[in-house]
Every structure is written in C-alpha cells, then in structure tokens.
Amino acid sequence: MGAIGAQRTPPDEVILVIDHNVELVAWSATEFDGVTVLAHEGTRGTAAARNRALAAARGDVVAFLDDETAPDPDWTERLLEAYADPEVVAVRSRLAIRWEAGRPNWFPNELAWVVGAPCTGAPDDGGPIDDLYGAGLSIRRETLFAAGGFPEDLDHQAGGMLAEPPAGAKTELRLRLHDLAPGAKLVQQPAATLRVRLAARRGGIGHLVSRCAAEGKSLAAVPQRAQGRAALGAHLAPIRAGLPRAVFRTLTATGPRDVEAWRALAAMLLALVATTVGYLNGRLQSTRTDEIRRTSTLTWFVARTALPVATVLWGLSLRSVDLDAMTDLGLITVMPATFWAAIVVMVAGFVALLSDKFALELWHAGYVLVLIAVLHATPALLYPTLRYSWAWKHVSVIDYLIRHGVTDPAPGPLSAYHQWPGFFSFFATMTQMAGLDDALDIASWGPLAFNIATLLPLLLLFRTVTRNRQLVWGGVWVFFSCSWVGQDYFSPQATTLVMYLTILAVMVRRFRRGPIRAGADPDGLAAEPPPITSARHRLIWATLLMMPIVAITSAHQLTPLMLVGALTALFVLRRYRNLGLLLVTAAVVAGWDVIIAWQVLESRFSDIMESLGDAGGNLSAGLIALGTASPGQVIVAYADRALSVGLWGLALCGAFVRRRWLRRPGLPLLMIGIAPLAFLAGGSYGGEIIFRVYLFALPLTALLAAALFLPARRAWVRTLVFPVVLLLMVTGFFFGNYGKEQSNYFTTDEVHLVRALHRIAPQRSLIVAPTFFLPAAYDQYERYDHIWLDELPPSREAVPNLPGHVPTLPEFVKDPSPALIDLMGAVPPGAKAYLVLNRAQLPATETAGIFPKGTIDRLIREISGSGRFRQVLGNDGGVVYELLPQTKAGKS
Amino acid sequence: MKASRPARWPLLLLAASGWLALSATGLAAGSAPRVAVTVLFLLVCPGAAVLALVRPLLGPRDHSGDAMESVALTVAVSVALGMLVTAGYYMTGVFTMPRAVMTLAGITTVAALGALVMPGRRRQGGRP
C-alpha cells in the first residue's frame, strides 16, 4: 500500500479487496486513508476477488496487484503511457522477482512462469504480446467488464494460496477480449516495473507441483479445447526447450553456480509431469461433478476394488458351468454362485463409483465394459458353438455370398437378405480378407462388439442433454442391463442400430440452428449446449452423414424407417430442423425399397415382416397356440414383461420428476425416444413391433429411469434403493435375453449332425424339422428346401389354396406320422426328404408350448413303427430320418 | 499462438493402410496378424481418411465430447463405405475380394492424400 501511495502519478482510486477475513477488513478500513476496502465473501479465489473490485471501480483503466507485489514509483505513469494508443486494451508490466528466503537452488529459469512471470518470454521493446499470463496486469475497465471479468470457474488455486489466476483463466480472458474487439492490442510495457517478493512458502517443491497441477487443470477447462491445448503447449515449451540443456548441465556439472543442475532437471521434469497430469485430469472430468459430496474412504475403496474383484469372480465362475443341466428357466439355472456374486459386487462398486466425485471417468467406462462383457461375452465363452439359430442363418447367407460372389435377387425364402445385402456383403468381405473358413468366429463375438460399439454414440447422445456424470453413466448402465430384446446378435439390425444412434447423436450435436432458451434447471442437469452451426457447416455434416444413412438403407428394412421417423420428430423442433436431410433420407429409403427391393416387398410382404426379427426368439407364452408352456417359460415371460413395464414405469416417473429438465435441454432426446412409438400404430407387424419400439426408445427410457434416482439427494435412495433396482434389472435381463437358452445353444454334436446331413443329401432334397432351432440349418440353402413344422398354417381357412399334401399344424399334432409322410412325399425325382430331430427341438417346441407335451416322443414312436422312415444319421446331438420311397408292400 | 504444422506421417500411413491390408491377405489364412490388420482396416481406415479430408470444413472441434464423436463417426463411416462398396460389387455380380479391397484402399488413399494437401490444414482450432 505504501508503494501505491508513493506513485508519482497517484491512481484515481485504490480498492483493497480482502478475501474472507472480517478482522482484516476492519483494521484496513481504519489504517488506510483514501482506500476503498471491500470484504469479499463469495467464491474464493483471486478471480472472484478481482471481479468484486471491478464492479466497484470507476476509473478507465484497472490494474491488479496482490499482497506480494509492489510497484516502482513510476509504475502508473508508465502503464498509462501505453494506453495512449486507443487500440491497446491490456498492458502487462515487467516483473522483477525477488525471493524472500533466497532463490531455491533447484529453481531453473524455465520455471519462472510458475511464480507469475510471463511464460513466453517478454519482448523488451513494449511490443505486442499474445497471452496475458503473468502478474501485473492492467486492462481497460469497460472492456474487462464487457468480457465478464476474470473467468471464475477456471480459477484453480494451488493449495489454498492466493496467487495470480492460472493460465486457463488468462487464456479464456484473452479469447473473450479478442471476441469483443478483434483488432485489440495487448502489449508489454517494460518500463513499468513491478517488484515481486515471493514468500518463503512459495519456494517449496510442493507448491511447485500443486501450482503446476492447478495450471494444467485450469487449462483443461478452457471451453475452446484447442486454445487450452495451445496454451498448455506454450507453457510447457520453455521446459521442453530447456530439458536438453539441463541434462547437459547435469552430466557435466556446469551451469550457474546458484542452481544445482540435477535438482533443476528433476524440478523441470516434475513440473512437466504435474502440469500434464493436471491437464489430463481436468479433461477427464469433463462432466459436472459439483452435485456430489466428498466421498468417504469406504466409498472410494469399494469403487476401486469391486471392478477387479468382479472381473476375477466372473472369470472363475465360467470354469464350472454344466450347460446340459440347464432347465426351462434358461442360462440363469446353470450359472454358479460366483457368477451372481460377481454381478452383486459389480453393481455395488458401480453405485459407489457414481458417488465418487474425483474418480476418473475411465473407471465408469471400465465398469460398463465389464458389464457388457458379463452380459454378452458369457455365451461366447461358454458355448461350444455359435448361439442362436438366426445368427447361424446369417452366417449361412454370408457363406452363400462367399461361394457365389453375387446376390440372388430371385424370390425365395431368404431373398430379403439379398435385397438388403449391406451387412452380409461387408462381413463376407471381412471373412475373406481375414482368410477365415466361415463367419462363425466373427458371429460369436458379434453381441459383445455391437454392444461396445453402441457405447460411444449412446454416451454422446446422453452428454448432449446432460452434463451430470452420475446421470450419464447411470443411464448407460440401465440401457445395457435393460436391453433384453436380443436384437444385438450378429445381424443387420444390430449393425444398423449403432449407425442409427451415431447419426442421431451427430444430428443433435451439429445441427443446432438457433439458441436454446435456458429453462428452469433446479437439479443442475443441463448440458453445455452444442455450438450453433452455420448453414454451410450443416451442409457438409449432412453430406458426411449420407454415407451411414445410405448404408443403413442398404442393410436393413426397418431401421431406415425408424431413422426417417426420428428425423421427422427432430424436424418438429425448430432448433434442430433440417428439411434437406429429412427429405434426402426419405428419398433414399423410398428409392431403395422401390427400385431394388420392390420385388420382395410386393411378393413376400409377410416374409419380410417376419425377417424383421425373430419374434419367437424372445417372445413368450402369449403367442403359443397348441400346447401350454412349461412353468419355467411362463416365469420367463412374466420376467420379460415385468422388466419392460417396470422400466417404462420408472421412465415415466423420471420424466415427471425431471419434467423441467426434460422440457428444455432434454427435448431432443425426448423426440428421438418417442418417435418410434408412431410405429406402434402399424400394428399389423404382429407382436414383434412392440419389441423393436422398446429397443429404439430405450435410450430415452433408460436415461429417464436413471434420472429418477440420479443425482440422488437422499443417501438411502443412493445406497439401498438404486442398487436393488440395478440388480433387478440385470436379473430381468438374464431372464429376458437368456431365458430360452435350452433351445438357443447348440452342442457340437448337433452341428456335426446337420453338416453330415448336408454331405449325404442330394440336391433339391427336403429338410424338415419341428422348428428352425437347428444349427447350420441354412448352410448351402440354395441346394435344399426347408420346412419348419411350427410354421405350418394354423387352419385351412387361414391359407386359401393350401395344397392338399400340406397339413395344418393341428392336423400334424393330431396325427404326426401320416401328415409327415404326405408332406415329405412331395419331392422332385432324385431328391430325398429328411426329418431332423436335434436336441434343441424338444425345448423349442414342447417347453415353449408350441406342441403339446409328448408330441416329439409320439412322433418318434409313430414314424419308427410306420416302416416308412429309416434313421440315416444319429449322435448325441439328435437323429435324422429319411423318408423311404413308397413300395408296393407299403401300398397294400 | 502460432499454428504449428501437424505431422504428416499419420496421414501417409493412413494412405498406405489399404494396400498394407491387401498385402496382408497374402499371410496364412486366419493367422492373427492377418485378422488383426484386415479387421482394423475395414473398421477404421476409410472413415478416418474421409474424416481427415473433411475435418477442416466441419467447423471448430472444441465442444466436450468431440473426440468421442470423431471415433464413433470414424467407425460408422468406415463400415458404411465398406457396406456400400461390397454391396455394389455383390449386387452387380462382379465381386472379387481383391477388387473390393482395392476400391476401399483407393478411397482411403485418395482421401488421406487429399487431406494432406487440403488448404487450411493446421492444428485444430488455431484461431488468430
């Protein structure tokens, strides 16, 4: 204060801001005359204190000092000289640094910026500068005011010691000044000298490290990432440049006498590491964490140890699984206790992690990846062959493409796959490039890969509507544990779903054309909105997005329609409206359907609808006609429904509780999520469409269900209710997704049986099986005809002109043997007819309730007794009968 | 901050990736390096090259999550290009594996080399 009083040109006004110290305020007010003393009680930190002073200041130029700096007598005079140029908005002084306790012998010049010196070196001639870093800054008051003062949220201070705002705040301030006046000049005034007396406590290595970390963290928080990165580079540049010299001095023991070379080298490396770590740490904490309280040691410990423990438990549990012991409840009945322990530990750890403010988000990602692995890699690791007969069918289609090198547009049972071949052609190429015999290995890992690929677009989508990290990761977790409809196997729809989500995430992020009114956001959930884009940028983004859009169109029937629906829903929102993209997408979809796939659409409409999915796969007792499902399957069916209805219920409650957030920042996700509901109106799809709608609406429902619990204010909700809900969801997932594993998993014997059949069966033979739950059923499918008995018509009235030799399903169940002989007798000359009864048929028909109990046994008894069938193949996986040609003896 | 020139070798490697993948098909069928190289190429490289080409036109990349968006788009565009090229060959009945791979490699090379000579290529977000 004395030095300010001694200025040759006294300042118009001196304002002293005292940070959180009432006694000092009172003392200063009596001690200093002509000084405005302000008590600062708000946000701690230099930036906030300076803004407090700025609001009270009246002069044209404001200069900032602190308790460690003392100006030379001509300081104000010299500073004001520089402002003679009207374009100059900020002037930085020259610093003369003096260490109160002597300069530490490890402190090299390269680290001068840590104590407040400009980091890029200062021009001696008063030339322009391109950063504001360093102490002794003065700025035109009105400009600084217009720029909003010092950015307080970037002001990370080291170890509770007040000092110059760190580099992030200065960088952001410079960018704001530049935005206000692009031609503004920032200059250094070397004649204005400021003497800095560095207190002894600043000479410690601990202060160096914490200050460097604070600088890095502050730079990471600069909203313009590239600028923050560039400023980081500028700060580290002197250290990097000085390293070779420091190494040389260490090795040769040369250099200035007051600096110990090896310690200076160590200090530089330490500063380099600390700044970089601080920066990375700041970057990884890109979601908002201020809602979360400081974590207890227990929470910290649970969150860090549960993941490895769960992973090990899961791995151990896979060693002792007896798949043959599976009952009609599915996979859940053979998983050992360690498996469930792994899930419980994982859920507990994840919930603990959610309340850990300081955890890197890599931990969250790790938990979600292990969850995906437990849910989707378990079958790939356990089962001897590929799971799921639909996946086998897709492998067979890929095999067809590899063998023929051309799609087969002729109408046939699988022609839909040839009219939308994108998925099959891509993986056929991958199989050939990798030199694999078939796509089985790729297909086994499909569910894991597709789910992991879903993670990124899902995170993007969630982060555009909320920055609360608890909510983002909670929503992601709920998504994967409720995604039970089983459409993520090796299939076109799984591939296109990933692209669908990616396109929508980019749409929401990059196609914003107007400001979003900030609605009420009492829970602090809103995300930093994506930047508004110009028409030119939107055009280029749209061009880029056309590639995945056309690819989706070429690969699947339903997903492009869902995409058009979602784009239409976004079109309703003025700020995300994009007529061009909507029209072009609709035109591409319509064009593909009319030009390339019209034949299929016209002639085999019902087949397409069927191939949209495999209702049978996860549907349950409701659709079954003739028998009664086993008690286990009824439980599975109710578990599916409970999970789905429960999720929707939670989502509706979440929507109500967070309605104000949902109305503004959550709006784009809301539109994307409810767009699929329009497809419920097209109820002609049978029961299947409801599961697709469930899946396509899942991003919305999962986030809303998570929003009911997160961010949790009440401890008992967080620690008791939420984990139980998550456990119920995972359990429900195992019922829904793996409740039919008795018929979805195949033994190697079953595969050998079917492959052996394909070796002996002549061309154009007829292969009959009770259901399609037959591995490799469609291998070389162009050579054979296939009939699955469960697809026989329910009655003669249902299918007009049904040929006389084809029985209806009730006719078959009533009298299996004659019905089969009629059906299988109609084969072309030279061809044969085979009946395959593999292990999976019994659970697929009788357990599921398609046939009454005992039908398969009766069938085997009757055909053995009829004398018309001969067993041609048989192993532990099942038997194959051949229909013998009718003999004279048979006729009589 | 002065805009420093980014390194050229990643784009050059990207430009060569397709041809490396094609030459990897000469390795033993199903061997680990062959599987790794081909899967990596099909899932990443064409999209990475296309994104590198259009990146200067797409506007600033300094919103939170932009890196994730780039990764997701890289995979999506790669798979999309793979699907479209291979589906085109299969539907016209002229598919051979080298032909499809060479087309994808060509696209990758052109896009990556285009990105290399694209005006305005500099370290991202370098605002004056």
CA distance A233 to chain B (A): 9
When pLDDT is averaged across residues A109-135 and rounded to a whole number, the result is 71
Q: Following DSSP, what letter does each residue of A182-203 receive, concatenated?
A: TT-EEEEEEEEEEEEEE-GGGG
The closest of A849, A826, A846 to A837, measured between CA atoms, is: A846
The answer to whether residue B76 sits within a structural domain is yes
Q: Under an 8 A CB cutoff, do A405 and B34 touch?
A: no
- Residue A616: the pLDDT is 41
Question: In this predicted model, what pLDDT tens digit does every residue of B72-95 receive, in sequence order?
Answer: 999 999 999 999 999 999 999 999
pLDDT category of residue B17 using cuts at 50, 70 and 90: very high
| Nearest CB neighbour to A554, from listed B51, B84, B96 | B84
Question: In this predicted model, what pLDDT tens digit does every residue of A283-305 receive, in sequence order?
Answer: 776 554 444 456 678 888 899 99
pLDDT category of residue A348 using cuts at 50, 70 and 90: very high
- For A124-144, b/e burial (b = at least 16 CB within 10 A) is eebeebebbbbbbbbbbeebb
| Nearest CB neighbour to B64, from listed A286, A422, A428 | A286
Q: Which of the given ranges, A142-146, A559-563, A626-630, has the highest pLDDT on average?
A: A559-563
When pLDDT is averaged across residues A705-722 and rounded to a whole number, the result is 85
**Strands A88-99 vs A35-40: parallel, antiparallel or unpaired:** unpaired
Query: Collapsing DSSP states into helix, strand and coil, what is residue A70?
Result: strand
**Residues A694, A678: contact at Cβ < 8 Å?**
no
Contact with chain B for residue A554, Cβ under 8 A? yes
Residues near B117 by beta carbon (within 8 Å), at least 6 away in sequence? none
Give the number of beta-carbon pairs within 8 Å between A and B. Answer: 194
In the predicted model, is pLDDT for residue A176 greater than 50?
A: yes
The tally of domains found in chain B comes to 1
Q: What percent of chain A has pLDDT over 90?
A: 33
Q: Which of A52-66, A372-386, A599-613, A669-683 has the lowest mean pLDDT?
A: A599-613
pLDDT category of residue A493 using cuts at 50, 70 and 90: very high
Q: Which of A434-438, A713-717, A762-766, A835-839 has the lowest mean pLDDT?
A: A713-717
Residues near B97 by beta carbon (within 8 Å), at least 6 away in sequence? A429, A432, A433, B25
Q: Cα A881 to chain center, whole Å? A: 50
Q: Under an 8 A CB cutoff, do B62 and A226 touch?
A: yes
- Residue A341: the pLDDT is 95
- Residue B52: the pLDDT is 92
pLDDT category of residue A29 using cuts at 50, 70 and 90: confident
In chain B, what residues touch A540 (CB-CB under 8 Å)? 54, 57-58
- Residue B126: the pLDDT is 38
Q: Under an 8 A CB cutoff, do A425 and B42 touch?
A: no
- Residue A287: the pLDDT is 54
pLDDT category of residue A684 using cuts at 50, 70 and 90: very low
The residue to which tokens 């699984």 are assigned: A321
The answer to whether residue B41 sits within a structural domain is yes
Contact with chain B for residue A596, Cβ under 8 A? yes
Phi-psi region at A159: left, alpha or beta (left = phi > 0; alpha = psi -120 to 50): left
The answer to whether residue B122 sits within a structural domain is no
- For A174-212, b/e burial (b = at least 16 CB within 10 A) is bbbbbeeeeebbbbbbbbbbbbbebeeebbeeebbbbbb
Question: In this predicted model, what pLDDT tens digit does every residue of B91-104 receive, in sequence order?
Answer: 999 999 999 999 99
- Residue A292: the pLDDT is 46
In the predicted model, is pLDDT for residue A487 greater than 60?
A: yes
The answer to whether residue B125 sits within a structural domain is no
For B67, the domain range is 9-117
- For A642-668, b/e burial (b = at least 16 CB within 10 A) is ebbebbeebbeebbeebebbbebbbbb
CA distance B90 to chain A (A): 5
pLDDT category of residue A163 using cuts at 50, 70 and 90: confident
The answer to whether residue B91 sits within a structural domain is yes
- Residue A365: the pLDDT is 94
Phi-psi region at A198: left, alpha or beta (left = phi > 0; alpha = psi -120 to 50): beta
Question: In this predicted model, what pLDDT tens digit does every residue of B104-122 receive, in sequence order?
Answer: 999 999 999 999 887 765 5
Query: Where is pLDDT greater, at B62 or A770?
Result: A770
Query: Where is pLDDT greater, at A853 or A395?
Result: A395
Q: Cα A746 to chain center, whole Å? A: 32
Q: Rounded distance, CA A610 to CA A863, Å?
A: 31
Q: Which residue of A has its CA nearest to B3?
A: A230
The closest of A351, A327, A342 to A373, measured between CA atoms, is: A342
Q: Which of A118-127, A239-248, A653-662 has the lowest mean pLDDT?
A: A118-127
Per the prediction, chain A carries an average pLDDT of: 84
CA distance A354 to chain B (A): 20
- Residue A569: the pLDDT is 92
Residues near A454 by beta carbon (within 8 Å), at least 6 away in sequence? A479, A488, A497, A498, A501
The answer to whether residue B4 sits within a structural domain is no
Contact with chain B for residue A233, Cβ under 8 A? yes
The answer to whether residue B35 sits within a structural domain is yes
Q: Rounded distance, CA A28 to CA A46, Å?
A: 19
Contact with chain B for residue A446, Cβ under 8 A? no
In chain A, what residues touch B100 (CB-CB under 8 Å)? 429
Q: Which of A432, A438, A512 should one mutate to test binding to chain B, selecting the residue with the greatest count of B CBs within 10 A? A: A432
| Nearest CB neighbour to B86, from listed A178, A426, A499 | A426
The greatest distance separating any two alpha carbons of chain A, rounded to the nearest whole angstrom, comes to 132
All structural domains of chain A, each given as residue ranges with its CATH number in brackets, are 2-200 (3.90.550.10), 387-512+530-612+634-742 (no CATH), 746-891 (no CATH)
Query: Where is pLDDT greater, at A4 or A788?
Result: A788
Query: Collapsing DSSP states into helix, strand and coil, what is residue A319?
Result: helix
Contact with chain B for residue A227, Cβ under 8 A? yes
Q: Which of B79, B103, B104, B108 should one mutate to test binding to chain A, selecting the residue with the greatest count of A CBs within 10 A? A: B79
Question: In this predicted model, what pLDDT tens digit does every residue of A506-530 receive, in sequence order?
Answer: 998 888 887 776 666 767 777 777 7
In the predicted model, is pLDDT for residue A888 greater than 60?
A: no
In the predicted model, is pLDDT for residue A722 greater than 80?
A: yes
> Could you say which residues from 735 to 774 on chain A have a Cβ atom under 8 Å away from some Cβ of chain B?
none
Q: Which of the given ranges, A140-144, A677-681, A854-858, has the highest pLDDT on average?
A: A854-858
Query: Where is pLDDT greater, at B62 or A699?
Result: A699
- Residue A125: the pLDDT is 61
In the predicted model, is pLDDT for residue A613 greater than 70?
A: no
When pLDDT is averaged across residues A232-261 and rounded to a whole number, the result is 82
The answer to whether residue B44 sits within a structural domain is yes
In the predicted model, is pLDDT for residue A717 greater than 70?
A: yes
In chain B, what residues touch A530 (CB-CB under 8 Å)? 63
Q: Rounded distance, CA A50 to CA A169, Å?
A: 12
ipTM of predicted complex: 0.93
Residues near A765 by beta carbon (within 8 Å), at least 6 away in sequence? A783, A784, A785, A827, A831, A832, A833, A834
